[in-house]
Structure 1
Amino acid sequence: MADLTQFGQLGPAVDSEASDGTVPPSDPIELQEHDSTDPFEISSEDAEFLDRVTADGSAPFEVTYTSDGRVRIHTGSNVGVLTLPSGTQVEVTPKASVTSLLWTLQYAFDTPVDSMGYKTKFSTDSSFFDAIGVLFWNELTTVLDQGLHRDYVRTQAVEDHVRGQIDVQRQLQRPGPQPTDFAVEYDEFTTDTILNRAVLSATRALVRLVRDPTLAGRLRHEEQRLRQFTSVRPVSLEAVNRIELSRLNEHYEMLLDLTRTVLSREFFEDITAGENRALALFVDMNNVYERIVERACRAAASELGELDVEGQGSIPTVVEGPHARSMRPDVIVRGPDEQAVAVLDAKWKPGVSASDVYQLTSYIFALETDGALVYHGGYEHDGEESVVDSEYSLRSVALNTNPSVDSYGDYVDALERSARGYLSSVIRE
């Protein structure tokens, strides 16, 4: 499964002389993927924040300065919202390659939101945070309706009777010559687990971020429900990333993905930066698109009935020795005999690069099958085909991620129809 919490590696900002106030070119600053602002004046507080979050090169945007101290913000393939300490907001939206950001995220996460009745266009009326918040709310209510997962949690306490094991070291440190209570350690079967604490932390963060008052109210209501069973305590991202779901809590799968996104390094919060907190939440569209391609192909293969789809499958390397590396293509399509009939690599970008072709070619040779580079809607070279080693087909294919439709159902139909068109051609061959 694609990880939605990864950043591209970007260069750090340079030092500059910042002004006393931020003067954005628009309010909010609106950018698309792979875009840049015009230079604008920035306060020292905002500049310090940007320098801090871009210092290690892992931020979803890049910052440069002009000779007179003005700043430019450069975006990559991440979409989302950045709020500076001054309150200046930067919104990064997808290019015309998607009809609706909410529909795109909804399809990638396989999350129903029809009951919410929210606007599905990315705009100042329906912010990026609202798109994430709607998906999160739906998954959270589903989990709460099915019941919070319980697990055994190691607990240390002081009790008036022996429970579990006496913590000898702590007991000896107890004051008084003859203490009447006991320092004990035991396993408690409880809902107050790291998983539920992480979900609560993400809920509390989103309550502060979403713009829509109805959505904020619904999230706040679910927060109160959670707090009846789960304590508000810090949860490290490392601990969240170590969570492994089982058969007993697999209904948390999508909610855990969204929780990791909100609590990951993509979410910055500077509580010391003046009156306003500096916030950012971004999603890498490369990883979102990998999910979309896999899900669309699964749906198409299921309807065709002759194919099976394997996402992020591991395949043998064609290199032996110390330079060997594991290969994990985004999608492997297999026939009834379980032999690969096509290998797909999802590409959320406008054109073919040499590295794209070399990567897919290595998959083709390893699996001895045809391959396709799968681009988003609007890709002008859709259908182009080359031949690898006089034997295998290498195509460029575009999924219809930007159909002219009025409903999410029509969006899904158009998207999966384009995937079905490609897989149908694989069967015919």
Structure 2
Amino acid sequence: MSLTATAIKVQEIAEKGESLVSLSPSQAARLQELRFCRVLPTSDMGSWRVTDVNRVGVVAIDDVRIIVKPKTPLRSLIFMASYSGVQASVRDAHFAFEADEDLPSALASAFLSAVDDATSRGLLKGYIPVNETGTVVRGRWDVARQLKSRPGLPVPIELTYDDYTEDVAENRIVKAALRALMRIEQLPSRVIDRAGVTTTLFADVSELRPAMSVTLPRESRLNAHYQPALRLARWILETTSWAHSQGASEGATFLLNVAKVYEDFVGRVLQVTLRPAGFDVDLQVSDWRLDTGGEVRIRPDIVISRGGRVITVADTKYKVWGDSNGSPPNADVYQALAYAVTAGVSEVHLLYVSGEVEPRKYTIAATGSTVVAHAIDLFGGPELLMVSARDISEALTRSNEDPSLAPHN
């Protein structure tokens, strides 16, 4: 039975720093079990301190609704989540969600607007391979399958052909995200109703197999107009799948990994900006080893190369640079240094959110490597966000002998 609006107790948690919430011991334990924050008791009975938050959104536990407010403005957050490199501009068409004050509603509204844009000319169609058994020849006779299934029998015939249909991966992903939205308890009825109406467009599209992660189809000229909707769909599916895997009741939890959204956005901007200039940009490289025995694995977020030679390496850090003394955390510098040594490059980069305005260099005397800390401003809206991200693209590929970056030993 659903709770009435008057019975729900709303509490807020900040993404950054620590917050105090009023919960029963059972509710505090269930919040801790979601594993996106630390929940610690205080000296006051029923009061709990929440720290180390790494996701944002909404959690419903019994009669308590906990809103985890992002430090990043919703407009910038939704733009990063939907960014595919094919938007003509950061126009307002994708920001119809601005009347929504919480992340689930904002993400859902933005997604529905992106789906409307993508399907304005009808659903995407494409060719998919079909294996069929029949008595009338259509397409190609699959001899190998025929001999395996019914050796020596001429009929029925095992056939293989390409069908031009709406039942393609792009539509399956969008349909799955629409269905996921309709199960989220926190969404306003107007959003649920709109998602239900939109879902009817996909009646002839088959269901997507449930999975913790979604691999988007390769971008092409044919599906370019679907890209913003697909990227938002992926985040919705990742969010709901993650919550379910943590044991939350279906629809009760909607928590987005903003650090992953930021990492994906920065990587995508670098690919779109640098590939036309002849650079290769690889994301989440997983086959690097620090030691000669190959036992110590390292996984840089971004590797930029040209002509098969690594030019530089970068790592995204979804935290404000300079919160304490203005220098990057030592652990971040050590990590960057490991990338520099492994790749054999003289300069590596740490990409923070906001913080110091100008980039700063830190030269490591023992290796001659240089770690450069940058800040991408997420708080000035999508227009300034894109300017800042493109400036980073240029900084990662220009000469290391840039006199504007004063070294800090």
Q: Counterpart of 2:100?
A: 125
Identity %: 19
Task: State the 1:223 CA deviation.
Answer: 0.9
The aligned counterpart of 1:6 is none
Listed one character per residue, the Cα deviations across residues 309-337 of structure 1 (whole Å, up to 9, x for unaligned) are 51326475452225253x442223345x6
Matches within 5 A, 1:241-260: 241=214, 251=224, 255-260=229-234
Cα-Cα RMSD? 4.9
Q: Which residue of 2 aligns with 1:177?
A: none
Query: Aligned match of 2:281 in 303, 306, 310?
Result: 310
Q: Give 1:205's match in structure 2, choosing from 161, 174, 180.
A: 180
Deviations 1:242-274, CA, capped at 9 Å, x for gaps: 78658698556664554443334324499997x
Q: CA separation of 1:225/1:63 partners in 2, compared to 1, >3 Å: closer, same or farther? A: same
Match of 2:348? 371
User: What is the aligned partner in structure 2 of residue 343 from structure 1?
Assistant: 313
2:291 corresponds in structure 1 to 319
Deviations along 1:156-176, whole A, 9 cap, x unmatched?
Answer: 9xx999x999xxxxxxxxxxx
Whether contact under 8 Å (1:28, 1:89) holds in the other structure is yes
Aligned to 2:60: 83
Matches of 2:94 and 2:215 in 1, distance apart?
32
Structure 1 residues 331, 234: closer, same or farther in 2, change over 3 A?
closer
Contact 2:275 2:281 in 1 (8 A): no
**Unaligned segments of structure 2, at least 5 residues:** 1-5, 143-155, 322-327, 404-409
User: Is the contact made by 2:174 and 2:233 (CA closer than 8 Å) also made in structure 1?
Assistant: yes
1:40 to 22, 41, 58: 22
More strand by share: 2
Match of 2:148 in 1: none
Q: Which residue of structure 1 aligns with residue 236 of structure 2?
A: 262
Q: 1:333 aligns with which of 304, 313, 319?
A: 304
Q: What is the CA–CA distance in structure 2 between the aligned matches of 1:185 and 1:100, rounded to whole Å?
A: 52
Contact 1:310-1:331 at 8 Å conserved across structures: yes
Describe the superposition over 1:223-253 as per-residue Cα deviations: whole angstroms up to 9, x where unpaired: 11112x135x684226x74786586985566
**Which of 383, 397, 404 lines up with 1:409 in the alignment?**
383
TM-score (norm 1): 0.66
In the superposition, relative to structure 1, how do residues 370 and 246 fare at CA in structure 2: closer, same or farther (>3 Å)? closer
- 1:364-417 CA distance string (max 9 Å, x none): 1223231111111124884142235353321211122223x5xx3344234434
Question: Matches of 1:185 and 1:195 in 2, distance apart?
Answer: 28
- TM-score, with normalisation over the residues of structure 2? 0.68
Residue 29 of structure 1: SS of its match in structure 2? strand
- Is the 2:76–2:385 contact (alpha carbons within 8 Å) kept by the matching residues of 1? no
Tell me by how many angstroms 1:204 deviates.
2.4
Is the Cα contact below 8 Å between 1:270 and 1:279 reproduced in 2?
no
Quote the Cα distance in structure 1 between the aligned partners of 2:96 and 2:216.
32
User: Which of the numbers 202, 217, 220 marks the counterpart of 1:226?
Assistant: 202
Q: Higher RCO, 1 or 2 (CA under 8 Å, sep at least 6)?
A: 1
Corresponding residue for residue 102 of structure 1: 78
1:132–1:186 distance in 2 versus 1, CA, 3 Å: farther
Counterparts of 2:245 and 2:279, CA distance in 1: 43
Amino acid at match of 1:320: T
Structure 2 CA distance for aligned equivalents of residues 244 and 269 of structure 1: 24
Instruction: Name the SS of the counterpart of 2:111 in structure 1.
Output: helix
Give the CA deviation at 1:128.
0.6
In the alignment, what sits opposite 2:211? 237
The answer as to whether partners of 1:266 and 1:280 remain within 8 angstroms in 2 is no
Instruction: Give the secondary-structure state (helix, strand or coil) at the position aligned to 1:28.
Output: strand
Question: For 1:43 and 1:91, how far apart are their aligned partners in 2?
Answer: 19
2:267 corresponds to: 294
Aligned counterpart, 1:93: 69
SS of the equivalent of 1:291 reads: helix
- Report the 3-state secondary structure (helix = DSSP H, G, I; strand = E; otherwise coil) of the residue aligned with 2:96: coil
Equivalent residues in 2 for 1:263-282 (5 A)?
A: 263-264=237-238, 265-268=241-244, 279-282=252-255
Aligned residue identity for 1:91: I
> How far is the alpha carbon of 1:203 from its aligned partner?
0.2
What CA distance in whole angstroms lies between the structure 1 residues aligned with 2:73 and 2:399? 24
Is 1:385–1:393's contact at 8 Å kept on the other side of the alignment?
yes
SS in 2 for 1:77: coil
Deviation readout 1:332-376 (Å, 9 max, x if unpaired): 3345x6543322111112453333222211221223231111111
Shift of 1:101: 2.6
CA gap 1:154/1:202 in 2 versus in 1, 3 angstroms? farther
Secondary structure of the structure 2 residue equivalent to 1:349 = strand
1:12 is aligned to none
CA distance in 2, matches of 1:388, 1:402: 35
Change in Cα spacing, 1:154 to 1:72, as seen in structure 2 (3 Å) is farther
1:80 and 1:283 in contact (8 A); partners too: yes
Measure, in 2, the Cα distance between the counterparts of 1:390 and 1:242.
Answer: 39
| C-alpha contact (below 8 Å) 2:85/2:268 kept by paired residues | no
Question: What residue identity is the alignment partner of 2:53?
Answer: G
